[in-house]
Amino acid sequence: MARFRFGRSSSAREGGIRQSGTDALQLVIDYIKQETLSPLKGLGRYLLFGIAGSVMLCAGAILLLVAFLRALQEETGGFFSGTMTWAPYVIVGGATVIMIALAAWGIVRGAAVRRRRPPSTKQ
């Protein structure tokens, strides 16, 4: 039976096997970096913009509630004066509770409910 020769000595073939092992290891390392670091970078960007948006939304809500309080105190023609000076604070507190409840309801309801389709009723 004849042996095939590839034009390499046995020591060259051993180097080829070592090189293949090194290449395989490098391929595994590159794959792990690609599948872990790239998604983490995207997640970091997503979290950064999400947190920044949440902070801005909360700051806007606080400013809106303070403006509502000042409007109740100043623009109601003295209705909340004397013994009723506490009423604008209660009203704004109630508005705050309603805003928090609506936000919590939206979070609990979530996007999954909007994406879920009702079962087909075809027969």
- Distance CA(3)–CA(108), nearest Å, equals 71
- Percent of the chain at pLDDT above 90? 38
119 has a pLDDT exceeding 80? no
pLDDT score of 11:
46
Structure tokens, 91: 């009203």
- Distance CA(81)–CA(79), nearest Å, equals 6
**Helix boundaries (H) for the chain:** 10-74, 87-115
pLDDT score of 77:
81
- Please tell me the pTM assigned to this model: 0.59
User: Which tens digits make up the pLDDT trace of 2-40?
Assistant: 555 555 554 444 567 788 888 889 999 988 888 888 788
Task: Report CA-CA distances (Å) from 110 to 113, 114, 118.
Answer: 6, 7, 16
96 has a pLDDT exceeding 90? yes
Q: What is the phi-psi region of residue 3: left when phi exceeds 0, alpha when psi lies from -120 to 50, beta otherwise?
A: beta
Average pLDDT over residues 90-109: 93
Average pLDDT over residues 96-119: 81
pLDDT score of 10:
47
